[in-house]
């Protein structure tokens, strides 16, 4: 065993991330993370369910257009929060707690500053921004009402989501879950009150969402003030370029994924409007219908991201502690878990799409029929998504940002967006739908090349480390 590994051994011996059985540890961290991610996805789902039943499919279209704003907010939160928490986990594995706290403080300041700037710019350029996102004339008034409120709450949700990653890294996945759960439950209670008795429509749904996000952030601040091991201290909030550069380098893959989602949403909305009009269906139906598919798929993605988020502190700590056999085993277990979940989601999408779509109301037979068709075709290859997500996250969690970024770009930017632009020229509106499964399968092939090589590399390192330990024991 190397001298460095010996020095790190004392910390690894004290921390369960470096010693507890990997399977038990992964369940302990992944289950609360999955719940937290599901809860986070429920904000938009709940809005769309109540809006669909209380306002109609034009209201659903408004939240679909406004979802691009949420994606931008999430890209900021994940760039800084995922990058910072992954770097902090590695530093904790290296027994450098003070530096981990500096990373937390830097990340907090960056989250606040960047989210406030985005919210202000969004409010200034609201209407042209929504038209650029693909809003039709009929959807625009609803989108303005909803988005103007959502933008006010952007700093709260961005900071809350970013810091939530640090709570898991701090060893408290249940608290990370609770901070999200409190807001989601409150949102579910407030949504119908603002939409129906108070008759505030989409604006009421947005107000309910922002209030819930503020409460979630308050719970997060309480944790770091009273419960955490890593402390959020004023003296650690001085932004340092070397830390900022390092955490952004690690978090860039998560950001690229979300920016890819943003570009995808814009291209998709505009393509659905154009080819929907050519097909005689219309943008007022095609955009909300695909919006429902994305929200339902978001439930599956949130579970897969939750599994990855649960594995991240385990991978990061053991990377810092140089426990290669534990890194390999953690990845293989999370890949199996994610693949099983993805297959179950795929079966649901192709077997009962009508049932899922009916939850959103909408009040139009043509809308319901097209939404079910979108779900059945667009998600035909979603069984590959679990493998893709955990693999990209693996490279991020172990401090390999270039590989993580390439894999994050592969499906959305390099494959799906070009396919959405190309296939409809031959297949019309259905070409947009078939772009989904083609991109999923091709992205899985790309990911497999990277991860197979990585697993072989980890296997060799683990065997070498084991042989060195055996030699030392024999010599001793």
pLDDT digits (tens, 9 = 90+) for 431-458: 999 999 999 999 989 999 999 988 888 8
Q: List the one residue out of 467, 271, 323 whose CA is nearest residue 25.
A: 323
Tokens of 37: 């991610």
Would you state the pLDDT for residue 117? 95
Would you state the pLDDT for residue 42? 67
Mean pLDDT per block of 10 residues along the chain (476 residues) reads 42 64 82 74 69 74 82 87 83 81 89 94 92 84 90 92 84 81 85 83 87 91 83 82 84 76 84 87 81 83 85 81 84 92 90 76 72 90 88 82 79 88 92 93 90 87 78 71
d(CA 44, CA 362): 16
- pLDDT tens readout for residues 143-190: 899 899 999 999 998 999 889 888 888 778 788 878 888 888 888 888
Tokens of 297: 């798929």
At 390, phi and psi to the nearest 5?
-70, -30
CA dihedral (337, 341, 346, 347) positive or negative: positive
d(CA 116, CA 153): 10
Would you state the pLDDT for residue 5? 42
Would you state the pLDDT for residue 125? 93
Under 8 Å between Cβ of 64 and 290: yes
- pLDDT tens readout for residues 272-331: 888 988 888 877 788 888 888 887 888 888 888 888 888 888 887 888 778 888 888 889
- Helix segments in 359-428, DSSP class H: 365-378, 385-397, 401-409, 417-422, 424-427
Chain center to CA of 350: 23
Would you state the pLDDT for residue 176? 80
Would you state the pLDDT for residue 6? 43
Spell 402-418 as b/e; 16+ CB within 10 A means b: ebbbbbbbbbbbbbbbe
d(CA 128, CA 414): 27
Tokens of 298: 């978001």
Under 8 Å between Cβ of 287 and 136: yes
The 8-class DSSP code of residue 364 comes to -
Name residues whose C-beta falls within 8 Å of residue 436's C-beta, 6 or more positions apart in sequence.
Answer: 377, 378, 379, 380, 381, 382, 416
Under 8 Å between Cβ of 287 and 140: no
Under 8 Å between Cβ of 364 and 341: no
């Amino acid at each position: 065993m190397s001298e460095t590994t010996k020095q790190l051994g004392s910390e690894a011996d004290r921390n369960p991330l470096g010693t507890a059985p990997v399977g038990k540890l992964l369940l302990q961290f992944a289950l609360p993370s999955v719940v937290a991610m599901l809860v986070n996805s429920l904000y938009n789902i709940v809005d769309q369910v109540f809006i669909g039943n209380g306002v109609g499919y034009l209201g659903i279209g408004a939240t679909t257009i406004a979802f691009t704003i949420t994606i931008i907010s999430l890209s900021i939160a994940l760039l800084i929060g995922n990058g910072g928490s992954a770097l902090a986990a590695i530093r904790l594995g290296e027994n450098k707690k003070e530096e981990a706290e500096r990373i937390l403080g830097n990340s907090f300041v960056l989250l606040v500053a960047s989210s406030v700037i985005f919210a202000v710019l969004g409010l200034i350029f609201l209407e042209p921004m929504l038209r650029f996102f693909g809003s039709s004339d009929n959807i625009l008034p609803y989108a303005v009402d909803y988005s103007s409120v959502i933008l006010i709450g952007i700093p709260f949700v961005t900071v809350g989501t970013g810091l939530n990653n640090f709570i898991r890294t701090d060893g408290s996945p249940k608290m990370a879950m609770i901070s999200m759960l409190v807001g989601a439950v409150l949102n579910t209670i407030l949504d119908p009150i603002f939409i129906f008795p108070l008759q505030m429509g989409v604006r009421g749904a947005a107000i309910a969402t922002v209030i819930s996000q503020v409460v979630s952030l308050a719970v997060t601040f309480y944790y770091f003030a009273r419960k955490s091991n890593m402390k959020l201290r004023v003296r650690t909030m001085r932004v340092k370029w070397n830390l900022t550069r390092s955490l952004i380098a690690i978090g860039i893959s998560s950001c690229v994924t979300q920016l890819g989602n943003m570009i995808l949403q814009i291209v998709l909305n505009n393509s659905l409007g154009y080819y929907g009009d050519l097909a005689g269906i219309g943008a007022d139906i095609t955009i909300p219908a695909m919006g429902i598919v994305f929200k339902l798929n978001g439930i599956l993605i949130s579970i897969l991201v939750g599994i990855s988020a649960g594995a991240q502190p385990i991978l990061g700590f053991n990377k810092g502690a140089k426990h290669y056999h534990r890194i390999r085993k953690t990845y293989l277990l999370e890949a199996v878990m994610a693949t099983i979940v993805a297959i179950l989601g795929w079966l649901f999408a192709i077997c009962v799409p009508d049932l899922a779509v009916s939850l959103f109301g909408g009040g139009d037979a043509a809308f319901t029929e097209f939404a079910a068709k979108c779900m059945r075709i667009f998600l035909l290859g979603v069984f590959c998504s679990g493998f893709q997500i955990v693999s990209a996250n693996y490279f991020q969690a172990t401090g390999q940002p270039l590989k993580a970024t390439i894999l994050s770009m592969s499906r959305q930017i390099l494959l799906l967006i070009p396919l959405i632009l190309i296939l409809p020229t031959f297949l019309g509106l259905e070409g947009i739908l078939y772009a989904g499964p083609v991109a999923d399968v091709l992205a899985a092939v790309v990911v497999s090349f990277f991860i197979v090589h990585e697993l072989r590399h980890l296997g060799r390192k683990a065997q070498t480390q084991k042989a060195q330990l055996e030699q030392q024991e024999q010599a001793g």
